[in-house]
Amino acid sequence: MAAVMKRLLIVDNEETILFALQRYFTRVGFIVDCARELEEAEALATHTPYDLVIADLALTTIGSTEGLEIIRYLRNARSSARVIMLTAHGSPGIKREAYRRGVDVFLDKPRPLAEIARVAERLTGGFA
Amino acid sequence: MSPILHRLRQPGAIRIEFQPIVRVHADHLEIYAFEALARGPRGTSMERPAVMFEYARRKGTESEIDLICIAQALISSAALPGRPLISINVHGATLTSVPDFAERFLNSAEAYGHSPNRLMLEIVEYRAPWAIETFRATLDELRDAGVHIAVDDLGVGASNYQMIVDAHPDHLKIDRHLVHGCSRDPWRKAVLQSVVTLAHACAATPIAEGIEDLADLEVLLETGIDTVQGWLYAQSMPALELAAKSAQILSPPIPQRMKGSCT
Protein backbone atom coordinates (compact mmCIF):
# COMPACT_ATOMS: atom_id res chain seq x y z
CA MET A 1 0.00 0.00 0.00
CA ALA A 2 1.32 3.43 -0.91
CA ALA A 3 2.43 5.59 2.01
CA VAL A 4 0.14 8.51 2.83
CA MET A 5 1.91 11.78 2.10
CA LYS A 6 2.42 13.94 5.15
CA ARG A 7 1.21 17.52 5.20
CA LEU A 8 3.44 20.43 6.19
CA LEU A 9 2.62 24.07 6.85
CA ILE A 10 5.53 26.52 6.64
CA VAL A 11 4.90 29.95 8.15
CA ASP A 12 7.43 32.68 7.49
CA ASN A 13 7.40 36.20 6.10
CA GLU A 14 10.78 35.79 4.37
CA GLU A 15 10.30 34.58 0.81
CA THR A 16 13.79 33.08 0.53
CA ILE A 17 13.23 30.88 3.57
CA LEU A 18 9.77 29.86 2.38
CA PHE A 19 11.14 28.99 -1.02
CA ALA A 20 14.03 26.90 0.30
CA LEU A 21 11.94 25.00 2.84
CA GLN A 22 9.08 24.44 0.41
CA ARG A 23 11.39 23.13 -2.29
CA TYR A 24 13.23 20.78 0.06
CA PHE A 25 10.20 19.32 1.81
CA THR A 26 8.27 18.91 -1.42
CA ARG A 27 11.19 16.91 -2.82
CA VAL A 28 11.26 14.57 0.18
CA GLY A 29 7.57 13.85 -0.20
CA PHE A 30 5.56 16.32 1.84
CA ILE A 31 2.47 18.15 0.64
CA VAL A 32 3.48 21.69 1.51
CA ASP A 33 1.41 24.80 2.15
CA CYS A 34 3.00 28.18 2.84
CA ALA A 35 1.68 31.09 4.85
CA ARG A 36 3.12 34.56 5.34
CA GLU A 37 0.65 35.92 7.87
CA LEU A 38 -0.80 34.68 11.15
CA GLU A 39 -4.39 34.78 9.83
CA GLU A 40 -3.37 32.95 6.67
CA ALA A 41 -1.72 30.21 8.74
CA GLU A 42 -4.78 29.88 10.96
CA ALA A 43 -7.12 29.80 7.97
CA LEU A 44 -5.08 27.01 6.37
CA ALA A 45 -4.85 25.06 9.62
CA THR A 46 -8.62 25.33 10.10
CA HIS A 47 -9.19 23.36 6.92
CA THR A 48 -6.14 21.08 6.76
CA PRO A 49 -4.91 18.48 9.28
CA TYR A 50 -1.17 19.13 9.20
CA ASP A 51 1.37 16.61 10.45
CA LEU A 52 4.05 19.24 10.89
CA VAL A 53 4.21 23.02 11.20
CA ILE A 54 7.44 24.97 10.82
CA ALA A 55 6.82 28.52 11.95
CA ASP A 56 8.90 31.63 12.41
CA LEU A 57 8.33 33.37 15.72
CA ALA A 58 8.15 36.88 14.26
CA LEU A 59 5.95 37.46 11.21
CA THR A 60 5.56 41.23 11.20
CA THR A 61 8.34 43.09 13.03
CA ILE A 62 11.54 42.14 14.83
CA GLY A 63 10.52 41.03 18.29
CA SER A 64 6.92 40.24 17.41
CA THR A 65 5.60 36.84 18.53
CA GLU A 66 2.88 35.77 16.09
CA GLY A 67 4.41 32.28 16.08
CA LEU A 68 3.24 31.80 19.66
CA GLU A 69 -0.31 32.60 18.54
CA ILE A 70 -0.07 29.89 15.91
CA ILE A 71 0.90 27.33 18.54
CA ARG A 72 -1.96 28.45 20.76
CA TYR A 73 -4.38 28.16 17.85
CA LEU A 74 -3.19 24.66 16.95
CA ARG A 75 -3.38 23.38 20.50
CA ASN A 76 -6.79 24.96 21.16
CA ALA A 77 -7.99 23.31 17.95
CA ARG A 78 -6.71 19.96 19.29
CA SER A 79 -4.34 19.70 16.33
CA SER A 80 -1.85 16.87 16.66
CA ALA A 81 0.64 18.66 14.38
CA ARG A 82 4.23 18.63 15.58
CA VAL A 83 5.66 22.14 15.68
CA ILE A 84 9.14 23.45 15.00
CA MET A 85 9.62 27.10 15.87
CA LEU A 86 12.38 29.15 14.31
CA THR A 87 13.60 32.54 15.45
CA ALA A 88 16.53 34.87 15.19
CA HIS A 89 15.45 36.75 18.29
CA GLY A 90 14.46 34.20 20.90
CA SER A 91 14.98 35.03 24.55
CA PRO A 92 14.96 32.33 27.25
CA GLY A 93 11.56 33.65 28.34
CA ILE A 94 10.13 33.32 24.85
CA LYS A 95 11.50 29.78 24.55
CA ARG A 96 9.93 28.79 27.86
CA GLU A 97 6.61 30.26 26.75
CA ALA A 98 6.81 28.44 23.42
CA TYR A 99 7.43 25.09 25.12
CA ARG A 100 4.66 25.81 27.62
CA ARG A 101 2.25 26.36 24.73
CA GLY A 102 3.20 23.10 23.09
CA VAL A 103 6.05 23.67 20.64
CA ASP A 104 8.06 20.51 20.05
CA VAL A 105 11.43 21.96 19.05
CA PHE A 106 12.67 25.53 19.25
CA LEU A 107 15.57 26.35 16.89
CA ASP A 108 17.59 29.53 16.66
CA LYS A 109 18.13 30.99 13.20
CA PRO A 110 20.10 30.65 11.11
CA ARG A 111 20.13 26.87 10.95
CA PRO A 112 21.32 24.65 8.12
CA LEU A 113 18.42 23.18 6.16
CA ALA A 114 19.80 19.72 6.82
CA GLU A 115 19.43 20.21 10.56
CA ILE A 116 15.83 21.39 10.24
CA ALA A 117 15.17 18.39 8.02
CA ARG A 118 16.65 15.99 10.61
CA VAL A 119 14.42 17.43 13.32
CA ALA A 120 11.39 17.25 11.04
CA GLU A 121 12.16 13.63 10.18
CA ARG A 122 12.47 12.73 13.84
CA LEU A 123 9.20 14.45 14.76
CA THR A 124 7.18 12.93 11.95
CA GLY A 125 8.59 9.42 12.19
CA GLY A 126 10.46 9.57 8.90
CA PHE A 127 9.78 10.93 5.46
CA ALA A 128 7.50 9.11 3.03
CA MET B 1 -1.82 46.64 4.30
CA SER B 2 -1.67 42.88 4.08
CA PRO B 3 -0.28 41.82 0.68
CA ILE B 4 -2.91 39.08 0.57
CA LEU B 5 -5.78 41.52 1.08
CA HIS B 6 -4.24 43.88 -1.45
CA ARG B 7 -4.14 41.08 -4.00
CA LEU B 8 -7.70 39.95 -3.31
CA ARG B 9 -8.87 43.51 -3.93
CA GLN B 10 -7.34 43.65 -7.41
CA PRO B 11 -9.83 43.45 -10.29
CA GLY B 12 -10.19 39.88 -11.50
CA ALA B 13 -8.22 38.36 -8.60
CA ILE B 14 -11.30 36.53 -7.40
CA ARG B 15 -12.73 34.30 -10.09
CA ILE B 16 -16.19 32.80 -10.19
CA GLU B 17 -17.02 29.27 -11.18
CA PHE B 18 -20.54 27.88 -11.36
CA GLN B 19 -21.94 24.52 -10.38
CA PRO B 20 -25.36 23.43 -11.64
CA ILE B 21 -28.13 22.51 -9.25
CA VAL B 22 -30.11 19.79 -11.01
CA ARG B 23 -33.76 18.83 -10.63
CA VAL B 24 -34.37 15.14 -11.32
CA HIS B 25 -37.63 14.42 -13.11
CA ALA B 26 -38.91 10.95 -13.93
CA ASP B 27 -37.58 11.01 -17.45
CA HIS B 28 -35.29 13.97 -17.74
CA LEU B 29 -33.04 16.36 -15.87
CA GLU B 30 -33.47 20.10 -15.57
CA ILE B 31 -30.91 22.68 -14.53
CA TYR B 32 -32.71 24.39 -11.68
CA ALA B 33 -29.99 26.86 -10.72
CA PHE B 34 -26.32 27.68 -11.02
CA GLU B 35 -24.44 28.32 -7.79
CA ALA B 36 -21.67 30.90 -8.05
CA LEU B 37 -18.54 29.70 -6.25
CA ALA B 38 -15.67 32.09 -5.61
CA ARG B 39 -12.05 31.11 -6.14
CA GLY B 40 -9.07 33.15 -4.98
CA PRO B 41 -5.98 33.83 -7.08
CA ARG B 42 -4.48 30.73 -8.71
CA GLY B 43 -1.36 29.32 -7.11
CA THR B 44 -2.01 30.94 -3.73
CA SER B 45 -3.43 29.62 -0.49
CA MET B 46 -6.50 31.72 -1.23
CA GLU B 47 -7.38 29.59 -4.25
CA ARG B 48 -9.30 27.35 -1.86
CA PRO B 49 -12.51 29.25 -1.09
CA ALA B 50 -12.83 27.85 2.42
CA VAL B 51 -9.36 29.18 3.24
CA MET B 52 -10.06 32.53 1.56
CA PHE B 53 -13.24 33.12 3.54
CA GLU B 54 -11.69 31.86 6.77
CA TYR B 55 -8.85 34.32 6.21
CA ALA B 56 -11.30 37.13 5.43
CA ARG B 57 -13.25 36.40 8.60
CA ARG B 58 -10.09 36.48 10.67
CA LYS B 59 -9.15 39.81 9.09
CA GLY B 60 -12.66 41.15 9.66
CA THR B 61 -13.14 41.67 5.93
CA GLU B 62 -15.65 38.98 5.01
CA SER B 63 -18.27 41.58 4.03
CA GLU B 64 -15.84 43.35 1.72
CA ILE B 65 -14.82 40.05 0.12
CA ASP B 66 -18.51 39.08 -0.09
CA LEU B 67 -19.30 42.25 -2.05
CA ILE B 68 -16.43 41.58 -4.45
CA CYS B 69 -17.63 38.01 -4.98
CA ILE B 70 -21.25 39.11 -5.48
CA ALA B 71 -20.25 41.68 -8.09
CA GLN B 72 -18.07 39.13 -9.87
CA ALA B 73 -20.88 36.57 -9.81
CA LEU B 74 -23.36 39.03 -11.31
CA ILE B 75 -20.88 39.88 -14.05
CA SER B 76 -19.75 36.33 -14.79
CA SER B 77 -23.24 34.85 -14.88
CA ALA B 78 -24.05 36.74 -18.08
CA ALA B 79 -22.40 33.88 -20.00
CA LEU B 80 -24.50 31.12 -18.42
CA PRO B 81 -26.88 29.14 -20.61
CA GLY B 82 -30.66 29.30 -20.27
CA ARG B 83 -32.67 31.03 -17.57
CA PRO B 84 -32.23 29.01 -14.34
CA LEU B 85 -31.80 30.70 -10.97
CA ILE B 86 -28.41 32.18 -10.21
CA SER B 87 -27.46 31.41 -6.64
CA ILE B 88 -24.93 33.59 -4.82
CA ASN B 89 -23.45 33.13 -1.35
CA VAL B 90 -23.51 35.85 1.27
CA HIS B 91 -22.53 35.90 4.94
CA GLY B 92 -25.30 36.74 7.39
CA ALA B 93 -22.90 39.33 8.81
CA THR B 94 -22.79 41.04 5.42
CA LEU B 95 -26.57 41.35 5.33
CA THR B 96 -26.45 43.25 8.60
CA SER B 97 -23.17 45.16 8.47
CA VAL B 98 -23.23 46.58 4.93
CA PRO B 99 -25.46 49.68 4.91
CA ASP B 100 -28.40 49.37 2.52
CA PHE B 101 -27.26 45.94 1.40
CA ALA B 102 -30.59 45.08 -0.24
CA GLU B 103 -30.72 48.30 -2.24
CA ARG B 104 -27.10 47.92 -3.34
CA PHE B 105 -27.62 44.31 -4.33
CA LEU B 106 -30.79 45.05 -6.30
CA ASN B 107 -29.16 48.02 -8.04
CA SER B 108 -26.17 45.88 -9.01
CA ALA B 109 -28.45 43.14 -10.29
CA GLU B 110 -30.31 45.63 -12.44
CA ALA B 111 -27.07 47.13 -13.71
CA TYR B 112 -25.91 43.70 -14.90
CA GLY B 113 -29.29 42.84 -16.42
CA HIS B 114 -30.57 40.34 -13.86
CA SER B 115 -34.18 40.21 -12.79
CA PRO B 116 -34.40 39.82 -8.98
CA ASN B 117 -36.66 36.77 -9.30
CA ARG B 118 -33.86 34.96 -11.13
CA LEU B 119 -31.51 35.44 -8.20
CA MET B 120 -31.09 33.43 -5.02
CA LEU B 121 -28.98 34.45 -2.04
CA GLU B 122 -27.54 31.57 -0.02
CA ILE B 123 -26.90 32.66 3.54
CA VAL B 124 -23.76 31.25 5.11
CA GLU B 125 -22.99 32.06 8.69
CA TYR B 126 -20.24 31.44 11.15
CA ARG B 127 -20.89 34.07 13.77
CA ALA B 128 -24.39 33.79 15.14
CA PRO B 129 -26.11 35.59 16.71
CA TRP B 130 -26.40 38.52 14.34
CA ALA B 131 -28.28 41.83 14.44
CA ILE B 132 -31.63 40.21 14.04
CA GLU B 133 -33.83 43.22 13.21
CA THR B 134 -31.52 44.43 10.44
CA PHE B 135 -31.12 40.86 9.23
CA ARG B 136 -34.88 40.37 8.89
CA ALA B 137 -35.50 43.80 7.36
CA THR B 138 -32.80 43.23 4.73
CA LEU B 139 -34.19 39.82 3.83
CA ASP B 140 -37.75 41.16 3.67
CA GLU B 141 -36.66 43.88 1.24
CA LEU B 142 -34.88 41.33 -0.95
CA ARG B 143 -37.79 38.91 -0.79
CA ASP B 144 -40.31 41.62 -1.65
CA ALA B 145 -38.26 42.41 -4.74
CA GLY B 146 -38.42 38.76 -5.80
CA VAL B 147 -35.05 37.45 -4.66
CA HIS B 148 -35.08 33.84 -3.45
CA ILE B 149 -33.55 33.11 -0.04
CA ALA B 150 -31.69 29.92 0.84
CA VAL B 151 -30.02 28.74 4.01
CA ASP B 152 -26.70 27.18 3.02
CA ASP B 153 -24.90 24.27 4.68
CA LEU B 154 -28.01 23.30 6.64
CA GLY B 155 -27.19 20.98 9.50
CA VAL B 156 -23.68 22.15 10.30
CA GLY B 157 -22.26 25.15 12.14
CA ALA B 158 -24.65 28.07 12.58
CA SER B 159 -26.93 26.91 9.74
CA ASN B 160 -29.44 25.53 12.16
CA TYR B 161 -33.04 25.91 13.30
CA GLN B 162 -32.33 29.42 14.55
CA MET B 163 -31.23 30.44 11.08
CA ILE B 164 -34.42 28.98 9.57
CA VAL B 165 -36.61 30.79 12.08
CA ASP B 166 -34.78 34.08 11.45
CA ALA B 167 -34.35 33.89 7.68
CA HIS B 168 -37.66 32.32 6.55
CA PRO B 169 -35.87 30.72 3.59
CA ASP B 170 -37.65 29.34 0.55
CA HIS B 171 -34.79 26.91 -0.07
CA LEU B 172 -32.93 24.67 2.38
CA LYS B 173 -29.50 23.57 1.15
CA ILE B 174 -28.58 20.45 3.06
CA ASP B 175 -24.88 20.19 3.82
CA ARG B 176 -22.93 17.49 2.03
CA HIS B 177 -21.93 15.95 5.37
CA LEU B 178 -25.52 14.77 5.78
CA VAL B 179 -25.92 13.74 2.13
CA HIS B 180 -22.75 11.90 1.23
CA GLY B 181 -23.11 8.25 2.19
CA CYS B 182 -26.83 8.48 3.10
CA SER B 183 -27.49 5.23 1.21
CA ARG B 184 -25.34 3.36 3.74
CA ASP B 185 -26.27 5.23 6.90
CA PRO B 186 -29.73 5.11 8.52
CA TRP B 187 -28.84 8.10 10.72
CA ARG B 188 -28.19 10.31 7.73
CA LYS B 189 -31.36 9.05 6.08
CA ALA B 190 -33.35 9.87 9.20
CA VAL B 191 -31.96 13.41 9.30
CA LEU B 192 -32.78 13.89 5.62
CA GLN B 193 -36.36 12.75 6.22
CA SER B 194 -36.68 15.27 9.04
CA VAL B 195 -35.40 18.05 6.78
CA VAL B 196 -37.97 17.13 4.13
CA THR B 197 -40.74 17.29 6.74
CA LEU B 198 -39.42 20.66 7.89
CA ALA B 199 -39.14 21.95 4.34
CA HIS B 200 -42.71 20.97 3.51
CA ALA B 201 -44.00 22.64 6.67
CA CYS B 202 -42.13 25.82 5.73
CA ALA B 203 -43.06 25.68 2.03
CA ALA B 204 -39.37 25.53 1.24
CA THR B 205 -37.54 23.49 -1.38
CA PRO B 206 -34.87 21.13 -0.02
CA ILE B 207 -31.66 20.91 -2.05
CA ALA B 208 -29.06 18.24 -1.34
CA GLU B 209 -25.42 19.27 -1.71
CA GLY B 210 -22.51 16.93 -2.35
CA ILE B 211 -24.28 14.21 -4.32
CA GLU B 212 -21.65 11.93 -5.81
CA ASP B 213 -23.25 8.59 -6.53
CA LEU B 214 -26.49 7.05 -7.74
CA ALA B 215 -27.12 5.06 -4.57
CA ASP B 216 -27.28 8.27 -2.52
CA LEU B 217 -29.44 9.88 -5.21
CA GLU B 218 -31.93 7.03 -4.98
CA VAL B 219 -32.27 7.56 -1.24
CA LEU B 220 -32.75 11.30 -1.75
CA LEU B 221 -35.49 10.72 -4.32
CA GLU B 222 -37.21 8.18 -2.07
CA THR B 223 -37.04 10.70 0.74
CA GLY B 224 -38.61 13.40 -1.41
CA ILE B 225 -35.56 15.44 -2.37
CA ASP B 226 -35.37 15.81 -6.14
CA THR B 227 -33.14 18.88 -6.37
CA VAL B 228 -29.46 18.08 -6.01
CA GLN B 229 -25.99 19.46 -6.55
CA GLY B 230 -22.71 17.65 -6.77
CA TRP B 231 -20.05 15.86 -8.76
CA LEU B 232 -22.53 13.19 -9.90
CA TYR B 233 -23.64 15.78 -12.45
CA ALA B 234 -20.90 18.38 -12.67
CA GLN B 235 -18.00 19.98 -10.87
CA SER B 236 -17.83 23.76 -10.74
CA MET B 237 -16.44 25.41 -13.85
CA PRO B 238 -16.30 28.82 -15.54
CA ALA B 239 -19.54 30.04 -17.11
CA LEU B 240 -18.35 29.65 -20.70
CA GLU B 241 -17.24 26.07 -20.13
CA LEU B 242 -20.54 25.32 -18.44
CA ALA B 243 -22.42 26.75 -21.40
CA ALA B 244 -20.52 24.41 -23.71
CA LYS B 245 -21.18 21.36 -21.51
CA SER B 246 -24.78 21.96 -20.45
CA ALA B 247 -26.18 19.30 -22.79
CA GLN B 248 -23.69 16.76 -21.44
CA ILE B 249 -24.68 17.63 -17.88
CA LEU B 250 -28.33 16.99 -18.68
CA SER B 251 -27.72 13.46 -19.90
CA PRO B 252 -28.41 10.67 -17.35
CA PRO B 253 -27.70 9.39 -14.68
CA ILE B 254 -31.25 9.07 -13.45
CA PRO B 255 -31.86 6.05 -11.23
CA GLN B 256 -33.72 3.51 -13.37
CA ARG B 257 -36.01 2.29 -10.63
CA MET B 258 -37.06 5.85 -9.79
CA LYS B 259 -38.27 6.58 -13.29
CA GLY B 260 -41.99 7.12 -13.29
CA SER B 261 -42.17 7.67 -9.55
CA CYS B 262 -41.38 11.36 -9.44
CA THR B 263 -42.67 14.24 -11.48
Q: Is the ipTM of this complex over 0.90?
A: no
Q: Are B48 and A47 a contacting pair at CB < 8 A?
A: yes
CA distance A92 to chain B (A): 30
Residues of chain B contacting residue A14, judged by C-beta atoms under 8 Å apart:
none
- pLDDT, residue B263, reads 42
Q: Is the omega angle on the peptide bond into residue B206 within 30 degrees of 0, that is, cis? A: no
Q: Are A44 and B59 a contacting pair at CB < 8 A?
A: no
d(CA B93, CA B129): 9
Q: Are B54 and A46 a contacting pair at CB < 8 A?
A: yes
Taking CA–CA distances from B58, the nearest residue in chain A reads A39
- pLDDT, residue B262, reads 44
Q: What percent of chain B has pLDDT over 90?
A: 80
Residues of chain A contacting residue B58, judged by C-beta atoms under 8 Å apart:
39, 42-43
pLDDT band at A103 (very low <50, low <70, confident <90, very high): very high
Q: What digits encode the pLDDT tens for the residues B14-55? A: 999 999 999 999 888 999 999 999 999 999 999 999 999 999
- pLDDT, residue B253, reads 67
pLDDT band at B172 (very low <50, low <70, confident <90, very high): very high
Q: How far is CA B219 from CA A104, B129, B180, B229, in A?
A: 47, 34, 11, 14
- pLDDT, residue A51, reads 96
Q: Are A34 and B45 a contacting pair at CB < 8 A?
A: yes
> Which amino acid appears at position A111 of this protein?
R
Nearest CB to A42 within list B2, B3, B58:
B58
Residues near B245 by Cβ (< 8 Å), separated by ≥ 6?
B234, B237
Q: Are A37 and B51 a contacting pair at CB < 8 A?
A: no
Going by C-alpha positions, the residue among B18, B17, B31, B26 that lies closest to residue B227 is B31
Residues of chain A contacting residue B51, judged by C-beta atoms under 8 Å apart:
40, 43-44, 46-47
- On average, the pLDDT of chain B sits at 92
